[in-house]
Amino acid sequence: MAIRAKRLPLTACVFGLFLGACAEKQEPFIAKVGNSTITQAQLDMTLAKAYGPNYRSIVSADARANALDSLVRMRALADAQLAKMDKQELAQLELEVERYREERLVETYLQEYKMGTPPSAAEVEAYYQSNIDRFTAPDSYHYEILQFNGVVDEQDLGEQLQTLSSQASRESWQQDSLPESLRHLQSSTATTPVSARVRNVLSRLSPGETSSLVYIDNVPKLFRLISKNDGERQSLASATREIQRALTVQSIKDSAKEASDQVLADLKVEYK
């Protein structure tokens, strides 16, 4: 059954005329837009991109006419844009076209190689064990801070630290009798500190233990760890699909390098 006319997607139209807009074809044309021509080959490529390789048996005459109209409109817009571009913009466009052409050629060449070999179960497990931190959530901490506000001289600081060190209970840090130079802060829930410096301080403490004096952004602080929750580790089974994707991508890269090494072996390469 023939497919009726429909408006082709913009990307399909662009694919069909992009290279043709940059250089005239010598073959007979089926439409002329100003001084630019559209060929049957360009229309066929657009229809194949939109409907698949068997488009000839399923696309109606109305659909073909609609596709050609879309190409005409796109060519008119493309030529209008080209007319507005300066030499630098045109040069950039040529580089992009050249890059696109090169990528398509490389993709076709590499199809001859066995690309992306699926990893074995042993390879997946080895990757998991070697990257265990990647599959483990960071530890979270419930902690409190005593922050020394303002400028504190060394003598005053030493006296306050001596007083605080003799106050072993948590409650002593939350009393209203704390000196004005001290500010009490407490995390309401277990959280993973953004600062690597703070995480490092807390990771060295046991629950109920107080750190030595730490300067964070030039502000003296004391940290007391209330509790710690170890980060949950993702199981190998749940991580397998992600690992397979990562290893397959690496396999493709390795295959591409092997193919390029073989080609380069017969070429002389010079760098300037």
Running along the chain, 272 residues long, what does each successive block of 10 average in pLDDT?
Answer: 48 46 64 93 91 88 92 95 95 96 90 77 96 89 78 60 56 56 62 81 88 81 85 93 92 88 91 90
Residues 126-155 as b/e (b if ≥16 CB within 10 A, e otherwise) read ebbeeeeeebeeebbbbbbbbebeeebeee
Q: Looking at the DSSP assignment, which residues form a beta bridge with residue 229?
A: 140
Predicted model pTM: 0.51
Residue indicated by tokens 């229809």? 47
Residues 214-228 as b/e (b if ≥16 CB within 10 A, e otherwise) read eeeeeebbbbbbeeb
Return the SS3 of 92: helix
69, 39, 70, 43: which is closest to 55 by C-alpha?
A: 43
Predicted confidence at residue 103, as pLDDT, reads 92
Predicted confidence at residue 137, as pLDDT, reads 87
Predicted confidence at residue 167, as pLDDT, reads 54
56 DSSP 8-state letter: G
Predicted confidence at residue 22, as pLDDT, reads 45
Predicted confidence at residue 152, as pLDDT, reads 58
Query: Which tokens sit at 72?
Result: 């005409």
Contact 151, 181 (CB under 8 A): no
